[in-house]
Amino acid sequence: MNRPSDLEKHRYLDKRRLDSHHFTLSLLQNAHRLGLIDKAGMDSIQSQVMDLLAAAIRLYTRGESTSVKNETAQGIMLSLFYAMDACLRSPGHPDEALEQLQARGLASIHSQGLAILESCLLDTRRIYENLLQQRLKVANLAYQSTLEEALPDFFNHYDVRFAAHETMASIDYPLFLDDMKVSGVFYIRKYLQTLTVENSFCRRYSTKEVKNLLTAYGRTYRININEALINIFEIVATNAMFSLLAGNPAQQLSISKAQLESLYQVLSAADESGRLEMLGAQAELLLVWPGASQDDYNLTPDEPWAAPVPVPGLKQLLEHLLTLIMPRLNRALEFGNLENVVIVSSKAAAPDAPRIVFNAGIKMDDDSFRELIGDIMACRDGAQKAALITGRSQSLADFIDILEADCLFEGEYQALYARLGEMELALLARILFVEEIRSDGEGFCLRPEAGQAFDYPWQAELSFFLQNLPAHRIKLIEHLIHSSLETEI
């Protein structure tokens, strides 16, 4: 078989065939595969990598040693490549990046990459400080703790030289559209840019409008809106779209019961393509009201190194929102529960509906939580573990954190759930089946779902436990799920 010509090689060496998250390694692998780098060239690059690693280890140990643990060496190696990626992604075409790599050598590439990361870190801090001044006035714990604790922790501990690839932060607040493949300062910068877009949209509406909507959302889905891991932009933008469709002023988010019934009639009369067209028209209005420039929301950075992929602008977020809304909307119309898609802000609990309040308690401090986890892990008896958890965890948030801490095994989950009453089990079921409750509304029941996948063992074990309860207990738990059961801080 004939070797590809230079023209063919260049045609196939393009960014679409490269891994933007591991750019340097991907570039080298593709170049070697196409014959653009021969074995001698690859050997030279490998030697340069080892020289860089040795120099970095000497710097890491302050000249006291030339060796470290394998785990530490691997981390430093990843950090070296992360910095080189920052430099080599800058040229407009992979051929140019390859030419720089071969002409300049890895030491020069890495040095420039470090300078780029330092500059990006400064810019990321600036974006954070601006965002901090424009934060939403909401009491959601994940939102506020991310801004006040997680992000400062990143800036205080981020290590450009030895751990540039690590994100170094525990961020709880979920973006509406996130890319978890990105890491390090590039991820934080992109996270902040996207959150700036989300915040800017939500700040169009008064704090009172947003708070009333979030309160109604929590009441509709029977969750504590302050503790829930919700995305505020998704809730606000969804109701904003339907509020415009209902004929409300652009600055209004609230929708009345009468307007909900009118929306149901209008949307039911249209087919799926007609509904998409109607909502798409409202999304277009949201892009231009109230006189906002698209430049304010399309925050794709000018610097080519600033993020491996473009930052979503408002248009992209709204387009993604439409793809999520349409299946929910079609199903809600089919089952007659549009209120699970459109939040009615004026909704109150029915007079005959029982209102049960679960006091979620105060979260443990970090030291107390770590001590409890240690005691649980040291315990070898499932029943004793269950007694420890129910006796010492006083908040729903702590209880969930314990379940996700991998300190229980198989039958121990069942022992723990057996100690819970119907009210506690109903609260956990609402968390576990939130999407099913949203879709099915009053029709939701604790029936097994074939092939249902869960993210954590505690979720699968809870589903199994609930579905094997006596019929009278299942009926009572389902009644509580559909009641106005709430949690309070």
Is pLDDT at 126 greater than 70 in this prediction? yes
With bands split at pLDDT 50, 70 and 90, how would you rate the model's confidence at 190? very high
Is pLDDT at 292 greater than 70 in this prediction? no
How far is it, in rounded angstroms, from Cα 465 to Cα 228? 24
Instruction: Select, from the ranges 183-192, 404-413, 427-436, the one with the highest average predicted confidence (pLDDT).
Output: 183-192
**φ, ψ for residue 287 (rounded to 5)?**
-70, -30
How far is it, in rounded angstroms, from Cα 198 to Cα 173? 12
Give the three-class secondary structure for 63: coil
Give 192's contacts (C-beta < 8 A, 6+ positions apart): 124, 127, 128, 131, 151
Residue with tokens 């430093």: 76
With bands split at pLDDT 50, 70 and 90, how would you rate the model's confidence at 169? confident
Residue 259 per-residue DSSP state: H
**φ, ψ for residue 229 (rounded to 5)?**
-90, 75
Mean pLDDT, the chain, whole residue set: 81
Give the three-class secondary structure for 113: helix
How far is it, in rounded angstroms, from Cα 253 to Cα 233? 12
Is pLDDT at 36 greater than 70 in this prediction? yes
Q: DSSP string covering 144-171, please? A: HHIIIIIHHHHHHH--TTT-TT------
Is pLDDT at 351 greater than 60 in this prediction? no
Residue 20 per-residue DSSP state: G
Q: Which amino acid is at 290?
A: P
Q: What is the pLDDT of residue 157?
A: 92
- Asked whether 217 and 235 are in contact (CB, 8 A), the reply is yes
Taking the whole predicted model, whether its pTM rises above 0.75 is answered as: no
Element containing residue 359 per DSSP (H, E)? strand 357-359
For range 60-72, the mean pLDDT: 81
Q: What is the pLDDT of residue 449?
A: 61
Residue with tokens 């049960």: 356
Q: What is the pLDDT of residue 347?
A: 44
Measured CA to CA in angstroms, residue 304 lies from 89, 91, 237, 296 at distances of 7, 8, 30, 19
Query: Which of 118-127, 188-197, 427-436 bottoms out in mean pLDDT, i.e. has the lowest?
Result: 427-436
- The proportion of the chain whose per-residue pLDDT surpasses 90, expressed as a percent, equals 29
Q: What is the pLDDT of residue 71?
A: 87
For range 297-310, the mean pLDDT: 49
Q: What is the pLDDT of residue 348?
A: 38
Tokens of residue 384, six digits: 């004793």
Closest by alpha carbon to 87, among 4, 177, 186?
186
Q: What is the pLDDT of residue 394?
A: 72
Q: Which amino acid is at 187?
A: Y
Give 316's contacts (C-beta < 8 A, 6+ positions apart): 177
Q: Residue 23: exposed, middle, or buried by beta-carbon count in 10 A (0-12, 13-18, 19+)?
A: buried
